[in-house]
């Protein structure tokens, strides 16, 4: 390899000679086409990169010479776009698009709309925390169509009441937490203050309306992004449609060719029109309660163990087989993949704040009802202990009344904005046993929010009822904590 080629490649790959190397400083569409060439070329990726540049009628020069204009890759980008037009767009070889990855930030998005974005499973998300950040009461979604309607004041007042209560209760709740749980000698003042504030935020997040603004960081490949944009553009919430347009507008600046067919899909839109407010009547969780229940059908334990491969004619007790298979599993080790052969479907009724976190489990399938007041709301025990339950109940009832008035005025989707995170939602949660190990161990851990810790514990209870010889090896944390994060 010539020295000039080495100099060029050193800017785009981490190793110019080794068998394993990483790409850097490459436009996403160029990176995608380079991986696609693997199936159509005898040459390696680095050789194909040099060809892409040289065949673009550009002299191979140091990238630093034209750093501002990015000239060395201009021809390569054009060739990559031509390739995608032919093979990805024209012939439907969509897997090529999975090599192009986009990192996006979506800010000042309502919590309600954030769930639409995070419904895309093949992506990575980071979202603003309700525990470590006190949310700004001035930042919430005010839909233009509602603000121009006769129910504008109803909507505005509902959001204002909840946000004001969220702010006004912070100081007294923190003080009462401190009175109940004094700082110990082992706790630093700073850590203790942070733990008390986090516990207060965990309690008061039940007041936040679904209209509250949040921020989301999103890393996603082009193939999944095309699907996400289409889903956003095809659902009834106006904010969701606007997000679809905004995401597409910004993403095409990075991967213009690969999002050609990202558009509204009439079939998807028709599914929203046909979807009832509820996926079905409650199956097992008692009305007016949160809870978890396994839905039939499912394999019995003997069948499940056979499918996992623990029995296979072996006469030793089932529990011994499981123990042998999971022996030596570390804190961060997943069980063997054979545990994916068995899945359970749970009916889960939980507050929307808990759903906000549980939805982000990528290996689970969730089918969720629309957020409505129909299932009632959670009452955080701390507010009752602090003498604030009366105020809380009144706020919940007023939010319910505002929701009904807004829905009756012709805004059924937007009415959910005024419902606080305390209101319950129902989802059907399907996960294989391998994912249940991860879900239960993560979501029942000390650092989890009390509401979804309870859900994870109940998921373990149901799993244990069906498959006790497996559930006993899931490290469920059943402890209760006065502070929702360690104060050390």
Instruction: Average the pLDDT over 324-350 and give the result.
Output: 93
Q: Is the pLDDT of residue 62 over 90?
A: no
Instruction: Output phi, psi for 238, to 5 deg.
Output: -60, -40
Give domain status of residue 85, yes or no: yes
Q: Is the pLDDT of residue 65 over 50?
A: no
Give domain status of residue 258, yes or no: no
pLDDT tens-digit profile of 392-420? 999 999 999 999 999 999 999 999 999 99
pLDDT tens-digit profile of 411-445? 999 999 999 999 999 999 999 999 999 999 999 99
Among 25-39, 76-90, 108-122, 395-409, top mean pLDDT goes to 395-409
pLDDT of residue 25: 87
Query: What residues form DSSP beta bridges with 272?
Result: none
pLDDT of residue 279: 55
Give domain status of residue 25, yes or no: yes
Q: How many domains does the chain have?
A: 1
Q: Is the pLDDT of residue 115 over 80?
A: yes
Q: Is the pLDDT of residue 481 over 90?
A: no
pLDDT of residue 69: 41
pLDDT tens-digit profile of 129-179? 999 889 999 999 999 999 999 999 999 999 999 999 999 999 999 999 999
- Give residue 50's pLDDT band: very low, low, confident or very high (50, 70, 90): confident
Q: Is the pLDDT of residue 44 over 80?
A: yes
Give domain status of residue 392, yes or no: no
With pLDDT > 90 as the criterion, what percentage of the chain qualifies?
57
Give domain status of residue 256, yes or no: no
Mean pLDDT of the chain: 86
- Give residue 72's pLDDT band: very low, low, confident or very high (50, 70, 90): low
- Give residue 91's pLDDT band: very low, low, confident or very high (50, 70, 90): very low
- Give residue 61's pLDDT band: very low, low, confident or very high (50, 70, 90): very low
Domain containing 64 equals 3-99
pLDDT of residue 67: 43
Instruction: Average the pLDDT over 308-322 and give the result.
Output: 65
């Amino acid at each position: 390899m010539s020295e000039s080629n080495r100099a060029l490649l050193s800017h785009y790959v981490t190793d110019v000679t080794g068998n394993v190397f990483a790409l850097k400083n490459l436009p996403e569409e160029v990176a995608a086409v380079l991986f696609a060439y693997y199936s159509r070329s005898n040459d390696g990726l680095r050789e194909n990169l040099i060809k892409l540049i040289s065949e673009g009628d550009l002299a191979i020069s140091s990238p630093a010479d034209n750093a501002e204009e990015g000239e060395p890759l201009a021809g390569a980008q054009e060739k990559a776009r031509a390739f995608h037009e032919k093979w990805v767009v024209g012939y439907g070889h969509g897997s090529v698009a999975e090599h192009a990855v986009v990192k996006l930030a979506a800010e000042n998005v309502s919590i309600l709309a954030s769930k639409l974005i995070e419904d895309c499973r093949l992506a990575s998300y980071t979202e603003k925390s309700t525990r470590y950040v006190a949310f700004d009461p001035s930042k919430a979604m005010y839909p233009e169509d509602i603000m121009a309607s006769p129910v504008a004041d109803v909507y505005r007042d509902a959001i204002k009441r909840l946000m004001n209560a969220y702010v006004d209760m912070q100081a007294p709740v923190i003080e009462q937490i401190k009175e109940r749980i004094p700082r110990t000698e082992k706790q630093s003042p700073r850590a203790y203050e942070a733990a008390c504030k986090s516990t207060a935020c965990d309690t008061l997040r039940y007041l936040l309306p679904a209209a509250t603004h949040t921020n989301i960081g999103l890393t996603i490949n082009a193939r999944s992004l095309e699907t996400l944009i289409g889903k956003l553009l095809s659902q009834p919430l106006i904010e969701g449609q606007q997000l679809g347009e905004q995401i597409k507008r910004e993403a095409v600046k990075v991967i213009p060719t690969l999002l050609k067919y990202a558009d509204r899909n009439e079939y998807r839109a028709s599914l929203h029109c046909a979807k009832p407010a509820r996926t079905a009547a409650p199956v097992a969780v008692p009305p007016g309660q949160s809870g978890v229940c396994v839905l039939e059908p499912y394999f019995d334990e003997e069948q499940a163990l056979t499918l996992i491969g623990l029995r296979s004619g072996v006469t030793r007790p089932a529990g011994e087989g499981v123990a042998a298979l999971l022996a030596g599993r570390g804190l961060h080790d997943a069980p063997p993949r054979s545990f994916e052969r068995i899945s359970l479907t749970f009916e889960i009724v939980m507050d929307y704040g808990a759903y906000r976190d549980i939805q982000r489990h990528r290996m689970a399938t969730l089918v969720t009802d629309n957020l409505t007041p129909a299932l009632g709301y959670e009452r955080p025990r701390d507010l009752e202990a602090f003498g604030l339950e009366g105020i809380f109940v009144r706020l919940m009832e007023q939010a319910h009344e505002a929701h009904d008035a807004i829905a009756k005025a012709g805004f059924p989707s937007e009415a959910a904005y005024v419902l606080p995170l305390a209101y319950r939602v129902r989802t059907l949660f399907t996960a294989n046993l391998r994912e249940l190990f991860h879900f239960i161990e993560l979501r029942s851990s000390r650092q989890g929010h009390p509401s979804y810790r309870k859900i994870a514990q109940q998921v373990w209870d149901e799993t244990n009822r069906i498959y006790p010889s497996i559930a006993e090896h899931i490290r469920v944390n059943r402890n209760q904590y006065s502070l929702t994060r360690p104060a050390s």
